[in-house]
Copies of this chain bind each other. A is one copy, B any other.
Amino acid sequence: MSERRGHDLGLHRVIEPQGALPQAAERLDAESPAFENEIVIDVQTLNIDSASFHQIMGELGRDEAKVGERVREIVAARGKMQNPVTGSGGMLLGTVKAIGKHYQGPVELKVGQRVATLVSLTLTPLKIDAIEKVHLDADQIDIRGTAYLWPSSPVVAMPEDLPERVALSALDVCGAPAQTARLVEGKERVLILGAGKSGMLCAATARATLGEAGKVYAVDLYDENLKVLQDAGIVDDFRTANAKVPTEVLEAVEAMTGGEPVDVVINTCNVSGTEMSAILPVKDRGVVYFFNMATDFSRAALGSEGVGKDVDLLIGNGYAHGHAELTLKMVREFAVVRRQLEGLAGA
Say yes or no: A21 contacts B319, CB within 8 Å. Answer: no
**What B residues does A303 contact at CB under 8 A?**
21, 23
CA distance A175 to B301 in the complex (A): 10
**What B residues does A302 contact at CB under 8 A?**
23, 120, 318
Q: How many copies does the complex hold?
A: 2
Q: Which of A298-318 contact B (CB under 8 A)?
A: 298, 300-318
Interface majority SS on A: helix, strand, loop or mixed? loop
CB distance from A268 to the nearest CB of B (A): 13
Say yes or no: A247 contacts B19, CB within 8 Å. Answer: yes
Residue from B24, B106, B175, B313 in contact with A317 in the complex, judged by beta carbons closer than 8 Å:
B313
Which of A187-195, A288-296, A332-340 interfaces with chain B? A288-296
Task: Tell yes or no: A297 within 8 A of B by CB.
Answer: yes
Say yes or no: A315 contacts B293, CB within 8 Å. Answer: no
A 243-260 binary contact with B (CB < 8 Å = 1; else 0):
001111000000000000
CA distance A246 to B21 in the complex (A): 8
CB contact under 8 A between A314 and B316, given known A19-B245, A296-B297, A297-B290: no
Q: Which of A114-136 contact B (CB under 8 A)?
A: 118-120, 122-123
Task: Tell yes or no: A68 within 8 A of B by CB.
Answer: no
Listed from nearest, the 8 A-B pairs whose CB atoms lie closest are A305-B318, A313-B315, A152-B308, A305-B319, A304-B317, A297-B297, A152-B307, A23-B306
* Chain A residues within CB distance 8 Å of chain B: 9, 11, 19-24, 106, 118-120, 122-123, 151-154, 175, 245-248, 276, 280, 290, 293, 295-298, 300-321
